[in-house]
Structure 1
Amino acid sequence: MTIPRVLVVAGSDSGGGAGIQADIKTIAMLGGHPTTAITAITAQNTLGVQAVHPVSADMVVAQIDSVLSDIGTDAVKIGMIGSAAIAHAVADRLERLDVPIVFDPVMIATSGSTLADAATIAAFERLMTIASVVTPNLPELEALGGEAAVLAHGCHLAAKGGHAEGATVTDRLLAADGREVAVMHAERLDTRDTHGTGCTFASALACGLAAGLSVEDAFTRAIRFVRRAILAAPGLGQRHGPLGHALGVVPFDQVER
């Protein structure tokens, strides 16, 4: 018996809605085994981020080496990176791997709190170079220089449409040559319980790739899982609540609308 192994390099969310906590829930619910390298500890809830404490780059690499030397991995998901030094250290270590890498360029939390400074965002260039798929939301995509700038790194681009206007959300998957290889349209859901959607999507995508799915199939499954989890949100907290990961695994036909 085999199980897809996914190494997650990301920050911790004390409120359990995003970050490592969302990553672990997502990968476990989709049948994978998550391992982790924590890049930062945050004091965070549905109202916002109250404090951030980056982990040292040496400790992040030590966690990666500990996991890879024993358990191994079939895919990597990179989320909140913590600092420019961590970004470069992670890139140095992961560029040797021959597995799919999903990079979610986390810059701003759902609450609006900043999670990456200018130096860290500049260091994202290294991570995009080693990534198989980069998964920015629209503001992050703009900050990275747009579609052409991301695709110039030779990766796929999952351009998420949740921040756009209108009654329909359009999510697109582009190949490195700019071809649109998958697109999904869905009714926009009227909810504020969307904390952790980006982390959840990127981890679901990485889990699919770890299981051997094509990029297109992993993308489609990840979009559907996020939508189910939004619809199953338990309504916790006073503002941007977490998704319902555990309740999100239901037949597709119950939520496709």
Structure 2
Amino acid sequence: MSLRIPNVLSIAGVDPSGGAGLLADIKTFSALGAYGCGVVAALTAQNTQAVAGVHVPPVAFLRQQLDTLFADVPLQAVKIGMLGGAEVVATVADVLAREAQRNVVLDPVMVAKSGDHLLARSAIAMLREALFPQAFMITPNLPEAAVLLEQGAPETVREMYRAAERLRELLPTSDQRWVLLKGGHLPGSELTDLLFDGDRMIELHSRRQDTKNTHGTGCALSSAIAALLPQRGDQLHPVEAAVRDAHRWLAQAIATSGQLAVGHGHGPVHHLNALWRTP
């Protein structure tokens, strides 16, 4: 049975300000025509300025959330965000392997926009070894790529090419898997992301927007891709189409972020700008 509206799951942390994490992912799914499900992997005390605290629920309850959901709801895609610790990573990887879940988009969240660390260093090796084999796509930014590759962050687009190639080597080679390396940390008015499957290296360009409302942009982009992957199967290049459409959607969400007034730090993007009436 084909479903017109895909069910998409976010496994992530909760940001009470709603700009990032699970709450932002659900908004993104809704904005892009997917039905959002959510499993809480971590709780944060957080606003637009800082992360004051992190609490990781017992992994037994995390597994119960996942098992209960998978037992009932067919899922067409999964987005993974903040996981917090090595045991959490291992539990999520185990369940996804058991379910043979496709369209898993892994955003290796390590540091918040405020600079606060969101992933224990002990979990990074587990992320590479246990969760990467379950991922259809990984979406690191440049500092995250540096941590994953244990090297300095790329400082040019040319260096990004080599980093994308090395990141792809961390994924299984037996079937199609993708790396989306986000270049937003490079200076300049033009942003370049690289989409790479081990064969095709696709440059995605956009203009940098003059705004401080960039809280949760990585969460929004990865969840947008997860929402769109099941809906772009009829395209000639479905993965590229999903990523390009996700980029366009995020650019508009950033451009309209000034319509919101949330906090005094890095504000959120406007996930639902196309659905809400504005004054």
Q: TM-score, structure 1 length as denominator?
A: 0.92
| Whole-angstrom CA distance in 1 between matches of 2:53 and 2:5 | 35
Counterpart in the other structure of 2:109: 106
Q: CA offset at residue 148 of structure 1?
A: 3.4
Match of 1:224 among 228, 248, 263: 248
Counterpart in the other structure of 1:120: 123
| Whole-angstrom CA distance in 1 between matches of 2:101 and 2:119 | 27
- Map Cα deviations across residues 56-113 of structure 1 (whole Å, 9 max, x no partner): 2111121111111111200111000121001011101101324210000000011111
Structure 2 letter corresponding to 1:151 = R
Q: CA offset at residue 38 of structure 1?
A: 0.5
Q: Does 1:179 align with 2:200?
A: yes
Gaps of 5+ in 2: 150-162
Comparing 61-70 with 199-208, greater Cα deviation is found at 61-70
Q: CA offset at residue 191 of structure 1?
A: 1.1
Counterpart in the other structure of 2:44: 42
* Partner secondary structure for residue 2 of structure 1: coil
8 Å CA contact retained: 1:228, 1:249: no
Match of 1:150 among 163, 167, 181: 167
Counterpart in the other structure of 1:61: 63
* Partner secondary structure for residue 114 of structure 1: coil
Structure 2 letter corresponding to 1:157 = V
8 Å CA contact retained: 1:10, 1:81: yes
| Whole-angstrom CA distance in 2 between matches of 1:29 and 1:123 | 33
Aligned length: 248
Q: CA offset at residue 199 of structure 1?
A: 0.5
| Whole-angstrom CA distance in 2 between matches of 1:35 and 1:239 | 28
| Whole-angstrom CA distance in 2 between matches of 1:226 and 1:212 | 17
| Whole-angstrom CA distance in 1 between matches of 2:184 and 2:133 | 25
* Partner secondary structure for residue 95 of structure 1: helix
8 Å CA contact retained: 2:164, 2:194: no
Counterpart in the other structure of 1:236: 262
* Partner secondary structure for residue 203 of structure 2: strand
Structure 2 letter corresponding to 1:220 = R
* Partner secondary structure for residue 144 of structure 1: helix
Q: Does 1:135 align with 2:136?
A: no
Q: CA offset at residue 128 of structure 1?
A: 1.3
| Whole-angstrom CA distance in 1 between matches of 2:121 and 2:274 | 35
8 Å CA contact retained: 1:5, 1:210: no
| Whole-angstrom CA distance in 2 between matches of 1:197 and 1:74 | 23
| Whole-angstrom CA distance in 2 between matches of 1:193 and 1:93 | 35
8 Å CA contact retained: 1:75, 1:209: yes
| Whole-angstrom CA distance in 1 between matches of 2:114 and 2:211 | 14
* Cα distance change, pair 170–235 in 1 and its aligned pair in 2 (3 A): farther
| Whole-angstrom CA distance in 2 between matches of 1:101 and 1:50 | 30
Structure 2 letter corresponding to 1:246 = L
| Whole-angstrom CA distance in 2 between matches of 1:248 and 1:191 | 19
- Map Cα deviations across residues 96-150 of structure 1 (whole Å, 9 max, x no partner): 3242100000000111110011111221112111100000011101111143342
| Whole-angstrom CA distance in 2 between matches of 1:190 and 1:206 | 27
| Whole-angstrom CA distance in 2 between matches of 1:88 and 1:131 | 13
* Partner secondary structure for residue 206 of structure 1: helix
| Whole-angstrom CA distance in 2 between matches of 1:58 and 1:15 | 27
Same amino acid, percent of matched pairs: 40
Structure 2 letter corresponding to 1:121 = I
The higher radius of gyration belongs to: 2
Q: TM-score, structure 2 length as denominator?
A: 0.85
